[in-house]
Chain A
Amino acid sequence: MSTAVELRGVTKNFGHTAIIRGVDLAIPRGERHAIIGPNGAGKSTLFNLISGRYQVSHGEILLNGEVVTGLKPFQINRKGLSRSFQVTNIFQRMSVFENIRCAVLWSLGYKYSFWHRLGGLKDANLRAEAVMESIGLKRRRDTSAGVLSYAEQRALEIGVTIAGGAEVILLDEPTAGMSRSETADAVELIRKVSQDKTLIMVEHDMGVVFDLADRISVLVYGEVIASDKPENIRGNKAVQEAYLGTEAH
């Protein structure tokens, strides 16, 4: 099994403060991988490093065996990595359909075209309709994204993330702020859209983590203290002390 994402000795300092302190992590292709850890452990920072939003201070990040450190977010995205955001980050003034269509255009090769008419792009429009169907927002097709309910916006966030057909998907707290039933729907949605893909997610809800993840990494103060199968993580003493002990009783 080849490696989709690999981190080698990655560190990130903000000023003199080390947020990520030497992370080594290899995530094989096709795995659903969860990153957990207490607040302030650096989970979101790690995502921002992998997706190119921040630049690493030291170390390197590989995507499908290729070094991507130093690349811009759009360059990493074009290499097949797509991410969602903890705070919903969509095109608020556009309709649901337009949001998703924007997310499929590059991957279908339309790039900066000003000689194609959007209405005539069958492949882009069909793909956008299909993604809308899969995230359950078809009946909200022409509603502007800004007025959707919170759960709908979270679903759209995932829709925009997966629409381009990226092989590696990073989801940052996809179920944060959701009710129990909304969370259950979201888990099913994530399971469906991450089929045959590599999924890395940051999540606080242990139910979701143990339900979805093939493997879990525990990040504490910028270091991975354990990376293992869910059942082994549950039994890991260091993890219990650092994290689960306080939160999961």
Chain B
Amino acid sequence: MNKLKYRPLNLGRWLVWGGTALVMIVLPLIFTSGFTLTLMSQIGVGIIFALSYNMLLGQGGMLSFGHAVYSGLGAYFTVHALNLITDGAFYFPVTLTPLIGGVAGAVFGVIFGYVTTKKSGTTFAMISLGIAELVAACSLMFSDFFGGEAGVSTNRVIGKAFLGITYGPSIQVYYLIVGWALICMMAMFAWTQTPLGRMANAVRDNPERAEFVGYDTHMVRFLTLVLAGFFAGIAGGLSCINYEIVTAENVGAYASAGVLIATFIGGAGFFFGPIIGIIVFFTMVTAVGGITQAWLFYLGLLFLLIVLYAPGGFASLIMMHVPVIKARLMRRLWLPYAATLATGMILLTGLISVVEMTYRFSTEAGTNPNMTLFGFAFKVTEGVPWAIAAGLLVGGFIVSRFAWNAVGRAWGDIIHILQEREAAA
């Protein structure tokens, strides 16, 4: 009999999970400002939401335009549950209330999913959009449940402190999010290693063949969506605890589009892709959004560049280097990469200048023409700054083309060498 090499304990995997946990736990000790804590809490919730979205997009091949339906309804059920607990209607530990969101997400997954998952592809995408619109419309009609325009507020501090935990301070909420995020990440990763998870891949790649090896593709997609709804609901529950308010935005199109964009930027093809995506996404939204009005423009530009030039997202950009590192060929890339970085900075400086000046010019040219950019103070109505910005943009574009071509050549060489080595082996 053949010896099987299935290892129940995979050391590398434990290191990755342990490292992730450690980073998430230690980060607030290094970055102590309230701003970073808010950002990290957002990211923690976002990771669960994006990974649950990727169960559909990456693992199951279902492009959903309405995933916020499940997280949003999960958030609404959590907020009402918290209010009922506050009123003393029943007892339930706040720590576990995200589960209420999860169950709500799963239940709505059962209700909506049965219809949406009948077909994949465009049909699925369109029906998911329709259901998102339906729920968004309901959020305006049933104001008792959805709270109308003001939404539903709550208070996460309920009852007496347990071991000093009240969830009053944000840091306690952060660690609550970290705990749930770690559990959900591991659970969703484990799911990819189960029969259903593998068959979701099979249905994604070749639904017809999946039917001819005994699987009902509708059922595979349906169960995947219910589980994705469950995890999305947990994310919704956590966001409810984090913000203490749930509004129609939680089920809205922006939230659905945001998770799609984040997942795509990070890369749907790898399990960890959405995690990178959500970090980049919220850094853009919160950090860049705090500096400039044009953040949405930059986010759109990044999304466009990824779709056009790296459709596998950041994850695929990282993973394409693994064989190169193994073959000890990275040294061929450092110089072209450094040149691309340097010239890219020029291009980026020019781009940011033009964009920022255009924004200022179009909004406040008459009232407030003074602006500061990269440490230089000038009037946006003058010609010289525009000439410099345009020069940086065009010049940066030209020099970065050279650097980019060098990267292309280096990669061509590496692929050639790898192929020769493989042929020789």
Which residue numbers of A lie inside 8 Å of B, CB to CB? Answer: 51, 53, 72-74, 77-78, 82-83, 85, 89-94, 98, 101-103, 105-107, 110-122, 125-126, 129, 160, 163-164
**Docked-complex contact A101 and B196, CB < 8 angstroms:** no
Q: Is B332 an interface residue, CB under 8 A from the partner?
A: no
| Bound: A164/B209 CA distance, A | 13
Task: Pull 15 A–B residue pairs with CB atoms less than 8 Å apart, ordered by A.
Answer: A74-B216, A74-B217, A77-B213, A78-B214, A83-B212, A89-B209, A103-B213, A106-B214, A110-B195, A112-B199, A112-B223, A116-B195, A120-B6, A125-B6, A163-B213
Known A-B contacts A74-B211, A77-B211, A114-B223; the reply to A105 vs B194 at CB < 8 A is no
**Docked-complex contact A114 and B195, CB < 8 angstroms:** yes
Collect the chain B residues with CB atoms within 8 Å of residue A117's CB: 190, 193-194
**Docked-complex contact B212 and A51, CB < 8 angstroms:** yes
| Bound: A85/B213 CA distance, A | 12
Q: Is B198 an interface residue, CB under 8 A from the partner?
A: yes
Collect the chain B residues with CB atoms within 8 Å of residue A122's CB: 4
Interface set, chain B 158-205, CB cutoff 8 A to A: 190-191, 193-199, 201-202, 205
Q: Which one, B209, B214, B217, B220, contacts A90 given CB within 8 A? A: B209
CB of B419, distance to nearest CB on chain A (Å): 13
Collect the chain A residues with CB atoms within 8 Å of residue B216's CB: 72, 74
Interface size on B, residues (CB 8 A): 33
Collect the chain B residues with CB atoms within 8 Å of residue A94's CB: 201-202, 205
**Docked-complex contact B196 and A113, CB < 8 angstroms:** yes
Q: Which one, A53, A72, A78, A126, contacts B4 given CB within 8 A? A: A126
Which residue numbers of B lie inside 8 Å of A, CB to CB? Answer: 1-2, 4, 6-8, 190-191, 193-199, 201-202, 205-206, 208-217, 219-220, 223, 227
* A-B interface contact total, Cβ < 8 Å: 106
| Bound: A122/B7 CA distance, A | 12
| Bound: A114/B190 CA distance, A | 9
Collect the chain B residues with CB atoms within 8 Å of residue A74's CB: 211-212, 214-217
| Bound: A222/B88 CA distance, A | 74
Q: Which one, B195, B205, B206, contacts A112 given CB within 8 A? A: B195
**Docked-complex contact A102 and B198, CB < 8 angstroms:** yes
**Docked-complex contact B223 and A102, CB < 8 angstroms:** no
- A130 and chain B: residue at smallest CB distance: B2
Collect the chain B residues with CB atoms within 8 Å of residue A78's CB: 214
- A122 and chain B: residue at smallest CB distance: B4
CB of B222, distance to nearest CB on chain A (Å): 9
**Docked-complex contact A107 and B194, CB < 8 angstroms:** no
| Bound: A161/B89 CA distance, A | 57
**Docked-complex contact B196 and A112, CB < 8 angstroms:** yes
**Docked-complex contact B196 and A118, CB < 8 angstroms:** no
CB of B375, distance to nearest CB on chain A (Å): 49
Q: Which one, B193, B206, B215, contacts A119 given CB within 8 A? A: B193
| Bound: A77/B210 CA distance, A | 10
| Bound: A117/B9 CA distance, A | 13
| Bound: A113/B191 CA distance, A | 10
| Bound: A85/B201 CA distance, A | 20
CB of A242, distance to nearest CB on chain B (Å): 31
| Bound: A116/B205 CA distance, A | 22
| Bound: A70/B71 CA distance, A | 39
